[in-house]
Every structure is written in structure tokens, then in C-alpha cells.
């Protein structure tokens, strides 16, 4: 009998905890709805996209890096030197990661702005969004790496001119 009472108390405690958690969630949702009303229409869509991506775990994923790698590797498909291919592969991997990181930092800046408010005890002061630094550092590194990759691009092949085009150009 004592065991049944113990199980009921445990069960009731779990239910009570769940109800408390649910009511906290409802409070948070109510706050979000109130905040949502104050957000301009043009920003709402970006915020929703960002929230959906974050909820789905799509922020800075291997898939997005892999897609970026494929985009970059297309440019180097005609490189025949094996040593250059290895160097290019490493650099492409790094550039792809940086490109995705830059995109994420940019999305964070659009969503959260350039500054955030920091609360330190009773003090409130604005602070630069950390995404600004991430964006800045990675843009510089990205540009440097892209410049190095450009050096490895194979030369463009000139298309053979037709006799008519050659005659026209000579005039």
C-alpha cells in the first residue's frame, strides 16, 4: 500500500513539473507574440527563416560546406597537375567553410543588428555584436584565400573564330 502511495506521489510530481514547464512555455510564447507585433514586416520574414533553420539544425552544417565546395571545385576541373590539385583541394575546403561562416555571420547581423545590449549588474551598455568580428576576420581571410585560388585557375581557352567572324573583326 505504501508503495502505491509513493508511485502516485511520484506520478503527481511529474505531472506538476510538466504543467509548470508548460505554463512557462506558454508565458514565453505570449512574450514572443507581443514582441512579434512590434517587429517591422520586412524583418519578420528573415527572423522566421533564421528560426526555422536554427530549429532544424541547419546553421553551419557539413552539407552547406559541401555544397559550397562543389561550387568552387567546378572552376578547377581542368587542372591536370596532381600537386596543384592537392593544394587546391585544401584551399577550396577552407574557402568553402569561410564562405558558409560569412553567410551565417551576415544572417546573424541582419537578424540581431550590429550592436547588442549588455547587462552587467545594474549597468546597461551597448556592445558590438560578436558576429561583426567574425564577419570581418573571415571576409579578410576569405578574400586572401580566393586571391590564392585565382592564381591556380586554368587559363581560359580561346574559342576558334569562324572565318566570317575573323573577316568582320579585321574590318
Residue 10 belongs to a domain:
no
The pLDDT of residue 95 is 94
Measured from the Cβ of residue 100, the count of other Cβ atoms closer than 10 Å reads 22
Tell me whether residue 161 is in a domain: no
SS3 127: strand
CA distance 98 to 81: 25
pLDDT, tens only, 139-158: 999 999 999 999 888 777 66
Is 24 inside any structural domain?
no
- Residue 145 domain-assigned (yes or no): yes
Hey, what's the cell of 163?
572565318
Distances (CA, A) of 9 to 5, 13, 17, 19, 108: 6, 6, 12, 15, 46
- When pLDDT is averaged across residues 107-116 and rounded to a whole number, the result is 83
Stretch among 34-43, 86-95, 152-161 having the lowest mean pLDDT: 152-161
Could you count the other beta carbons within 10 Å of the beta carbon of residue 131? 20
Residue 27 lies in a domain: no
Q: Is the pTM of this model over 0.75?
A: no
Range of the domain at 90: 58-155
In a domain, 2, yes or no: no
CB 126 within 8 A of CB 116: yes
Q: Which three cell numbers stand for residue 91?
A: 584551399
Domain count, the chain: 1
Residue where the block lists cell 592537392: 86
Amino acid at each position: 500500500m505504501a508503495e502505491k502511495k509513493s508511485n502516485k506521489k511520484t506520478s503527481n510530481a511529474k505531472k506538476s513539473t510538466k504543467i509548470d514547464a508548460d505554463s512557462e512555455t506558454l508565458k514565453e510564447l505570449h512574450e514572443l507574440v507581443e514582441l512579434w507585433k512590434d517587429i517591422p514586416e520586412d524583418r519578420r520574414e528573415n527572423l522566421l527563416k533564421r528560426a526555422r533553420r536554427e530549429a532544424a539544425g541547419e546553421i553551419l552544417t557539413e552539407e552547406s560546406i559541401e555544397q559550397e565546395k562543389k561550387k568552387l571545385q567546378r572552376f578547377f576541373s581542368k587542372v591536370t597537375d596532381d600537386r596543384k590539385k592537392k593544394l587546391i583541394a585544401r584551399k577550396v575546403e577552407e574557402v568553402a567553410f569561410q564562405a558558409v561562416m560569412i553567410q551565417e555571420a551576415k544572417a546573424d547581423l541582419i537578424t540581431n543588428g550590429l550592436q547588442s545590449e549588455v547587462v552587467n549588474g545594474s549597468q546597461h551598455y551597448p556592445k558590438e555584436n560578436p558576429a561583426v568580428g567574425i564577419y570581418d576576420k573571415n571576409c579578410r581571410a576569405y578574400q586572401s584565400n580566393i586571391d590564392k585560388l585565382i592564381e591556380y585557375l586554368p587559363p581560359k581557352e580561346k574559342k576558334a573564330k569562324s572565318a566570317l567572324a575573323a573577316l568582320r573583326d579585321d574590318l
